[in-house]
Amino acid sequence: MWIARSKTELQKNLDSLPRPIVLVPTMGALHLGHAALIDLARKHAGTEGSVLVSIFVNPIQFDKPADLENYPRTEDEDLETCKTHGVDGVFLPEIGEMYSKDRSIMVTENQLSQDLCGATRSGHFDGVCTVVLKLFNLTQCDAAVFGEKDFQQLAVIQRMVRDLDLHIQIIPHPTLRVADGLAMSSRNRRLTLEQRADAPRIRKALLAASQKSSAAEIISTAREIIETSPLTTIDYLKLVNAENLQPTDQITSTCILACAVFYGDVRLIDHIKIPYC
């Protein structure tokens, strides 16, 4: 497994890499969920193709400097995970390698990104789209794997690929959870023991809400369960149309109940699909 820390090193290694190339973009702090993404990438690349992992904590998608500063960085462990799961190459650039000091171009999506995480994290999805497009260009990948936990991010990236005519296949992977239901996330390791013990209530709230028949009941049920804990602060809790991610108060098509919940300064996201019957 090779490691490239510059665009020049990356290009040199790409020249001899067999296709298809399947990319797994990450910000590091890899866990079992990331490992599953890598395994899915290998499945699609096959024994003749190649799997790349990028590890880059992208500063332009953070709306709070403290969140960027506190984001976990575990390079040695991450590289060991990549090696164990048969990754062919890792792109591990520094900020200066990815962004010029006088950069003046950003990629903006104007529909799917306006609510949910986009409403509470100013500029977040501009940063996501910009870095993902750069990674697509730099790695020359044929496909890329993204987890469904960040379902809004996945939808935005799929829209970018469609609207910009990028010849890249986007491969979703279902949300991975630990045994108690908490969605796997690099942020989980920042929870205190008390917060970690309480955090599965997010999944419990979504499951209970999904059994209700009206939009009002769905929201109120989830809110009550989450807010019962003194440790939680709801950032958002919304029911949106599954296709366009616009808020809705009627279950007239498949919907998604999505939430972002703070435990202290640790922000956890999750969602559940509400089928239309």
In 3D space, the residue among 249, 252, 250, 257 whose CA is nearest the CA of residue 274 turns out to be 257
In 3D space, the residue among 92, 120, 87 whose CA is nearest the CA of residue 28 turns out to be 92
Question: Looking at the DSSP assignment, which residues form a beta bridge with residue 238?
Answer: 258
Give the separation between CA 263 and CA 234, rounded to whole angstroms: 9
In 3D space, the residue among 172, 228, 220 whose CA is nearest the CA of residue 198 turns out to be 228
The three state secondary structure string of 4-27 is ECCHHHHHHHHCCCCCCEEEEEEC
Sequence-separated (6 or more) residues with CB below 8 Å from residue 136: 23, 144, 166, 168
Pick left, alpha or beta for residue 122 (phi over 0 → left; psi -120 to 50 → alpha; otherwise beta). beta
User: Is 85 among the residues known to form the active site?
Assistant: no
Give the separation between CA 70 and CA 59, rounded to whole angstroms: 12
Contact 107, 129 (CB under 8 A): yes
Residue from 34, 124, 173, 271 carrying the catalytic annotation: 34
Contact 127, 60 (CB under 8 A): yes
Q: Which residues carry out catalysis?
A: 34
